[in-house]
């Protein structure tokens, strides 16, 4: 998979975001990063074929099967992004605060052979079913591409009904207050910097 798009968007003299990374064999990691940029969203990333397949989820993931969360497919991120946390400086792509909200491993619900091959096919088909083993996100989830949608990269992230499912869920309730406060502070600083430079 190419990280060209990822690299193109960033100036690595400015941002401390990683440029590469090599996955460990035998397991597949996921990470969910709360990204307080110009708009708050959660980045949902799954390691497939050596990179992190990524979706931006504006409302954050939910453990309630009734919530169908819009998930916008974005460019692949390098494997080492799984550990990235901190501030992307003002004026840079994605400027804001990144917090690792959850991480763990995942498996394909229907997988029984070549993981990468099967995962890539499910993504291509717009119907990815996974089992998550995180601290917050647990059990079965589906990522389904919206058909005939307005936007080609729009998917839905949906929790399956299983023993981990709950009736109500708001990912912000599981975010520490200090993280929320830092995000607001950085956003205000970024806005002020923009005003100054324009």
Q: Does 17 bind Mn ion (CB under 5 A)?
A: no
Least Å from the CB of residue 128 to Mn ion: 19
Q: Cα–Cα distance between 3 and 22 in angstroms, integer?
A: 13
Using CB under 5 A as the binding criterion, the count of chain residues that bind Mn ion stands at 2
Least Å from the CB of residue 193 to Mn ion: 19
Angle formed at CA 136 by CA 2 and CA 160, multiple of 5 degrees: 80
Cβ atoms of 107 and 28 within 8 Å: the answer is yes
Q: Does 28 bind Mn ion (CB under 5 A)?
A: no
The dihedral of CA 139, 119, 24, 3: what is its sign?
negative
Among 1-9, 36-44, 62-70, 165-173, the segment contacting Mn ion (CB under 5 A) = 36-44
Least Å from the CB of residue 88 to Mn ion: 9
Q: Would you give the DSSP letter of residue 125?
A: H
Q: Which DSSP helix (H) or strand (E) runs through 158? A: strand 154-159
Q: Does 45 bind Mn ion (CB under 5 A)?
A: no
Q: Does 43 bind Mn ion (CB under 5 A)?
A: yes
Q: Which two tokens mark 190?
A: 């970024």
Least Å from the CB of residue 5 to Mn ion: 14
Q: Cα–Cα distance between 144 and 147 in angstroms, integer?
A: 9
Among 16-24, 34-42, 143-151, 165-173, the segment contacting Mn ion (CB under 5 A) = 34-42
For Mn ion, the closer of residues 94 and 111 by Cβ is 94
Q: Does 35 bind Mn ion (CB under 5 A)?
A: yes
Phi-psi region of 90 (alpha: psi -120 to 50; beta: other; left: phi over 0): beta
Least Å from the CB of residue 100 to Mn ion: 13
- By Cβ distance, which residue is nearest to Mn ion? 35
Least Å from the CB of residue 98 to Mn ion: 8
Among 6-14, 20-28, 32-40, 138-146, the segment contacting Mn ion (CB under 5 A) = 32-40
Q: Cα–Cα distance between 53 and 29 in angstroms, integer?
A: 11
Q: Cα–Cα distance between 151 and 66 in angstroms, integer?
A: 22
Which residues make up the interface to Mn ion (CB under 5 A)?
35, 43
């Amino acid at each position: 998979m190419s990280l060209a798009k990822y690299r193109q968007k960033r100036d690595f003299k400015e941002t401390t975001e990683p440029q590469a990374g090599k996955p460990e064999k035998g397991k597949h990691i996921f990470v969910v990063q709360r990204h307080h940029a110009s708009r708050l969203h959660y980045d949902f990333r799954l390691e497939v074929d050596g990179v992190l397949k990524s979706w931006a989820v504006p409302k954050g993931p939910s453990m309630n099967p009734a919530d169908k969360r819009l998930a916008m497919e974005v460019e692949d991120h390098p494997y080492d992004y799984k550990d990235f946390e901190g501030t992307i400086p003002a004026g840079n792509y994605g400027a804001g605060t990144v917090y690792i909200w959850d991480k763990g491993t995942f498996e394909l619900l229907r997988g029984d052979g070549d993981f990468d091959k099967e995962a890539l096919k499910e993504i291509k088909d717009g119907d990815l079913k996974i089992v998550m083993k995180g601290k917050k996100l647990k059990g079965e989830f589906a990522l389904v591409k919206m058909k005939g949608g307005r936007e080609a990269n729009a998917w839905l992230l949906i929790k399956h009904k299983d023993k981990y499912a709950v009736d109500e869920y708001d990912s912000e309730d599981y975010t520490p207050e200090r993280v929320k406060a830092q995000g607001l502070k950085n956003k205000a600083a970024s806005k002020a910097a923009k005003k100054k430079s324009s």
